[in-house]
Structures are given as structure tokens and as C-alpha cells.
Homo-oligomer: A and B are copies of this chain.
Amino acid sequence: MVISPKHIQILETAEKLFAAKGFECTTVRDIAEEAGVNLAMISYYFGSKAKLMEYLFEHRTGNIGMRVENLLKNDSLAPMEKVELLIDEHIERAVQQQRFHKIMLCEQVINKNPVIIKVLRKIKIRNTQIIETLIKDGQKKGAFKKPVDVVLLLSTMIGTVNQMLINKTYYRDFNKLDDLTDEQLQALIKKRLSNHIKKLFKAILTNEP
């Protein structure tokens, strides 16, 4: 399928609305109006509303695996340094693509759309295997403890980030950070998430305090 700028425009409008109101509550008319295109263009371009969602998933998840692999190619890095890179990469992407991450989270909870389930499953397996390899390497080098429950560990990373994104405004209120702009708050949360998760990973992976 050829993807024109108009395709992208519709996809990103849809993403915005799906994240704000949920897939089912977003009508094709909403998307068309917000994107400034005719209602029928969405069926013409994507076939259906459901297919549109699937294209969005492909559009957003296309090169995740590759990026992660490139990140770990650098042989001069210690295992824990690589783990830290992975953590920061995940935080960065989750924050940068907040809207899509929210949609993804909902879709995983509902677990209905077979196409999406398949796409996500593929990414998950790949990521888990990469990190498992990385951890085994660290264990061989004596840097990491064994055994490690990789899925459980990744659940902590992904879950903590998700939860913080959900609770962003609540985090602001509870910590009395009203004076910060949204960008400043976001930067602060990123920094704190990074430190926090790295500390957690060290506790699970290494023997150091």
C-alpha cells in the first residue's frame, strides 16, 4: 500500500482521537472532520475503521525491533550499561508516543482484535528474547545474578511507565508541582522514571546495593 501525506494525516488524527476517547467512541465522522477530509475517504483509503486501526499499529510499531537491536550492537558497553540504554529508550518512546501507548494498553486489555494481538505478540517475543540474551551474557560475565524472570522484570518497566503516564496529572497534584509547565513536568517524570527503574533493575539483576 502506498502511503501519502494524507494517509499519515488521517492516521495521526485517528491516533489522537482514539487516545482521547477510545476506539469505539471515536466515529469515522469525528476523524474525517478533525482531519479535514471527506467521510468516505477513510473507507476509500483504509477499507474500514478497523483496518485503519491496524494500519496505525503497523505505522507505529514498524521498526521497534530494529532500533532495539542497533542499540545493543555496541560491544564496548557493559551489560548493565546496555540495560540502562534499553530502559531510557523505552521511557523515551513511551513518553514521546504517549497517545499510541495508551491505545496499545487498552487494546491489550481488551485483547479482541486478532491482527493487533498478533503484531504485539511478535514485538513482545522479540523484545523479551533480546533482553534474555543480554541478561544471559551478563550472567556469563558475572555481572548479573541468576536466575532472572525476564517477563516479570519487563512487566515492571513497562507497567511502571504506563502507570505513571496514566497518573501524570495526579502526580503533579500530589507532589504540588503546579508551577511546572507540561513540558517541565514531563521532563521531570522522565528523569525520575529513569532513575527509579534503573535502581529497580539493579536490585534484581546485580548483587550491589
Contact = CB atoms under 8 A, between A and B. Distances in A.
Contacts of A161: 159
A60 to B, nearest CB: 16
A124 interface: yes
Contacts of A109: 102, 105-106, 166
State the oligomeric state as a number of copies. 2
Interface of A: 21-22, 24-25, 102, 105-106, 108-112, 121, 124-125, 128, 149-152, 155-156, 158-164, 166-167, 170-171, 174-175, 192-193, 196, 199-200, 202-204, 207, 209
A46 to B, nearest CB: 20
Main secondary structure of the interface of A (DSSP, over half): helix
Given A105-B105, A164-B152, A200-B203, A170 B21 contact: no
A196 B24 CA distance: 36
Contacts of A207: 209
A177 to B, nearest CB: 11
Nearest to A154: B163
A200 B204 contact: yes
Given A22-B110, A151-B170, A155-B163, 8 more contacts: A25-B112, A125-B174, A149-B196, A152-B164, A158-B163, A159-B161, A162-B162, A202-B203
A196 B166 contact: no
